[in-house]
Structure 1
Amino acid sequence: MFKRRRGRSKHDELVTEDQLTETEQVPERGPFDESEAPDDGLERLDLGSVRVPVPDGGQLQVEVDPAGPVRAVHLVTPVGRLTVSAFAAPRSKGLWGEVSAELAEQLRRDGAKVHTEQGEWGQELVGDSPKAALRFVGVDGPRWLLRGVAAGPAESAKECAKLLYDVLADTVVARGEEPMPVRTPLPIELPEAILRHIQQAQEQEGQQAPNGQV
């Protein structure tokens, strides 16, 4: 497992801001805005708008639109699949409340059983569908919304959820300063090595004859 930091407990003694040193004012547990990203030496996968730690044994799965843009990057682990995405949000927080209500409605229309649970970052959505056990976690940040999704077999749902929490707690969001419509997905940029690998795979597919021969 990737390196963890000890987070603050909600029961820690309250102190005023002027009692904190500059170091202590940096959050110990994320997700982090780029402006307050910790210099902790933790290796993160840089996807442009988000930098996420990859759990031990995790593999990348990339969804690319035919037109070219990267639609999503998933972390496939032995206990399930994790997806972390960032979206533009208003300065006033609270977007996750709206989005989660819409997600719950959509999941129910798709035949899933849905209920809410209270987690570290607020309300979470838990869904039980024929295909997978699902958990949606949202974190409202400064002009961004970070959404994490865990999907996997019901028997490993708890382990998958814990892994998602660990990933979100160490994720860094790079929102940028450009104005964007609310809910616009922040662009994903793949590292050069991964991009080359995908391009080579696409070229090889293009060279395949209709009968499967090159």
Structure 2
Amino acid sequence: MAMWPFGKKQEAAESTYEDPTPEVPEDVEPQEATVAGDTGPFDGDTVDIAEFDFSDFSLGILDLGSMRIPLPKNSQVQVEMGEQGPKMVHIVTEFGRITPVAFAAPNSAGQWAEAGEQITQGMMGDGLETDVDQGPWGPEIIGQGEHGKIRVIGVEGPRWMLRMTTTAPHDRAEGLRDLAREITARTFVYRGSDPILAGNSLPVVLPKQLVEQVQQAMQQRAEQAQQQAAQALKAQSQQVDEVPTEEPTEK
């Protein structure tokens, strides 16, 4: 899969990329996100997403407030539900699942290196075999298990850090790796001016359509919980009714 075959709208007719896949030396240092240019991820507070043409890759933009992500064709958005509501947003593709998260970061670089160590330790604690792959933006953390492979891509930007976590079966892991890098290169992060502690995730706002779907899912979950509780009470009541009572013996 060719990397990043896109450009700004006013330059789209002139932009050609014979071999856009960058060669990454083994000793590459983590690179920061692009503030201005033809490839990202981009700082949305200073770069206008409307200037770019992603129609060759995407049918629409997933607007999450702090992130705007051109969705690849033939993909779907999945909202992972927690007890208190939406927990995580995933992009489900033919290769596997991609989970984007943006974090607040200090002005100085180094947050991804620190996060990478923590991610590696967490993978090892889960019994995964870990490795590091050099990607377009620096080290990518890999965890392999019996059923599949996890890859975590990290990119540092102006006071933010973007993390893409991929999960795929072994036979589709390379395809998901390439697609995740494509998505990362087209993602816009909006840090904003609000004070947010470094390391905390930037707030996510679900689009109206997703909100409606989430509300329906939560309502269905509540109805199922009520039904299960009612069935449990009914079963318990039947068990009580079926307990034989002892007749009093005459003396």
Superposition TM-score tier, normalisation by shorter sequence: 0.7 to 0.9
Q: Which protein shows a greater Rg?
A: 2
Say if 2:139 is the partner of 1:107: no
Q: TM-score normalised to the size of structure 1?
A: 0.84
Following the alignment from structure 1 to structure 2, what is the Cα–Cα distance between the partners of residues 80 and 47? 21
Match of 1:40 in 2: 52
Does the CA-based 8 Å contact 2:36-2:42 persist in structure 1? Answer: no
| Cα shift at 1:110 | 0.9
Say if 2:76 is the partner of 1:59: yes
Match of 1:28 in 2: 38
Say if 2:174 is the partner of 1:158: yes
Greater helix percent: which structure? 2
Following the alignment from structure 2 to structure 1, what is the Cα–Cα distance between the partners of residues 84 and 223? 19
Paired AA for residue 85 in structure 1 = V
For residues 52-102 of structure 1, give each alpha carbon's deviation from its aligned partner in whole angstroms, at most 9, with x where no partner exists: 12111111111233223x321101111111111100000111210000011
| Cα shift at 1:153 | 0.5
| Structure 1: segments with no counterpart, 5+ residues | 12-24
Equivalent residue of 1:207, what SS? helix
User: Across the two proteins, how many residue pairs are aligned to each other?
Assistant: 197
Task: Show the 5 A alignment for 1:97-136.
Answer: 97-136=113-152
Paired AA for residue 40 in structure 2 = G
Does the CA-based 8 Å contact 1:71-1:188 persist in structure 2? Answer: no
Following the alignment from structure 1 to structure 2, what is the Cα–Cα distance between the partners of residues 10 and 149? 21
| Cα shift at 1:201 | 2.5
The percent of aligned pairs where both chains have the same amino acid is: 35
Considering only aligned residues, what root-mean-square deviation do their CA atoms show, in Å? 2.3
Equivalent residue for 1:50, pick from 67, 79, 92: 67
Q: TM-score normalised to the size of structure 2?
A: 0.72
Moved more, 56-65 or 179-188: 56-65
Equivalent residue of 1:91, what SS? coil
Match of 1:149 in 2: 165
Match of 1:17 in 2: none
Paired AA for residue 196 in structure 1 = E
| Structure 2: segments with no counterpart, 5+ residues | 8-16, 24-34, 55-59, 233-251
Does the CA-based 8 Å contact 2:144-2:150 persist in structure 1? Answer: yes
Equivalent residue of 1:149, what SS? strand
Task: Show the 5 A alignment for 1:10-25.
Answer: none
Match of 1:20 in 2: none
Does the CA-based 8 Å contact 2:6-2:53 persist in structure 1? Answer: no
| Cα shift at 1:9 | 7.2
| Cα shift at 1:44 | 1.3
Paired AA for residue 186 in structure 2 = D
Equivalent residue of 2:150, what SS? strand
User: Cα–Cα, structure 1 residues 10 and 203, in superposed 2: closer, same or farther, change >3 Å?
Assistant: closer
Following the alignment from structure 1 to structure 2, what is the Cα–Cα distance between the partners of residues 197 and 48? 18
Match of 1:205 in 2: 221
Following the alignment from structure 2 to structure 1, what is the Cα–Cα distance between the partners of residues 123 and 77? 25
Does the CA-based 8 Å contact 1:135-1:150 persist in structure 2? Answer: yes
User: Cα–Cα, structure 1 residues 9 and 157, in superposed 2: closer, same or farther, change >3 Å?
Assistant: closer
Paired AA for residue 177 in structure 1 = S
| Cα shift at 1:29 | 0.4
Does the CA-based 8 Å contact 1:57-1:77 persist in structure 2? Answer: yes
| Cα shift at 1:206 | 2.5
Match of 1:191 in 2: 207
Match of 2:32 in 1: none
